[in-house]
Amino acid sequence: MPISVGAKAPNFTLKQKTADGLKDVTLSDHAGNEPVVLVFFPSVYTGVCTDEMCDKGGGLAAAMGLGAAVYGISTDSPFAQEAWAKANGITIPLLSDYDHSVVRTYDVEWPSFVGIGPSAARAAVVIGRDGTVKYSEQTPTLGELPDFEKIKAALAGA
């Protein structure tokens, strides 16, 4: 079960690969300023993840248009994330949880991804300006996308 609605969102700092090098992104930097959407996904260079992050369904773009900071999080290295984003035109910031600490803290670790070990589950968490979880979802399978309509609804009150 992912982190509960109403819980205080645990702070974290993760790496993002930018054109200028590695950059730290810290959740608490958004406190009081804007809601945050965390979209956890299992792995770069996979079909469902590519469709999700490339926004084939319009879900992520709509969430981004609601004044929220939106981040994709996987356990891949920031260098693999950057290459994948460039190859696929992915524009949302991708954060590397290479040591799995955030997926464990948010309780969204998938035990075995295609037999190669644990990864992030497919999940979404909306964090309000006050730092509490407003919406939390983990899909039952890795092939299903989060409910972007519910994410948008949660953002309306975040």
Assigned token pair, 55 = 């926004």
User: Residue 114: CB partners within 8 Å, gap ≥ 6?
Assistant: none
List, as one string, the DSSP characters of 79-123: HHHHHHHHHHT--S-EEE-TT-HHHHHTT-EES-STTS--EE-SE
Is 49 tagged catalytic? yes
Among 27, 37, 49, 90, the one annotated catalytic: 49
Angle at 80 between CA 143 and CA 104, to 5 degrees: 60
* 8 A C-beta contact, residue 103 and residue 75: yes
Cα–Cα separations (whole angstroms), residue 101 to 53, 88, 126, 130: 22, 27, 18, 23
CA separation for the pair 85, 118 (Å, rounded): 22
Residue type, 158: A
Residues tagged active-site: 49
